[in-house]
A = this chain, B = another copy of it.
Amino acid sequence: ADGKALYTEKNCHTCHGADGNAPIMPLYPKLAGQNKEYLVAQMKDIKSGARANGMSMAMKAMVMNVSDEEFTAIAEYLANVK
């Protein structure tokens, strides 16, 4: 899976900005360069409901149609963005 393509296809950029570096609100996290394992864990936890604080609710609808394999590909892409 192509993480960079998925980042756009799954509308991650809509809130987190190009390459995960420019969130549209200061309450949203920057993602570029973040640890891959941490990113995967957060996406899975938001999808399962284990993480539901603050604005993560806004993300839940977005991750519902993203698979674990796609989470990994997106996280790998983001972890390597400078």
Q: Which residues on A are within 8 Å of B, measured CB to CB? A: 23, 25-30, 33-38, 41-42, 45, 50-51, 53-55
Copy tally for this chain in the complex stands at 2
Q: Are A41 and B23 in contact (CB under 8 A)?
A: no
Contact B41 A36 (CB under 8 A): no
Interface pair A50/B41, CB less than 8 Å apart: no
Q: Which B residues are CB-close (under 8 A) to A36?
A: 26
Q: Interface of chain A, helix or strand or loop or mixed? A: loop
Give the residues in chain B near A23, CB-CB below 8 Å.
35, 38
Partner of A35, one of B30, B41, B50: B30
**Is there contact, CB below 8 Å, between B54 and A50?**
yes
Smallest CB gap from A38: residue in B: B29
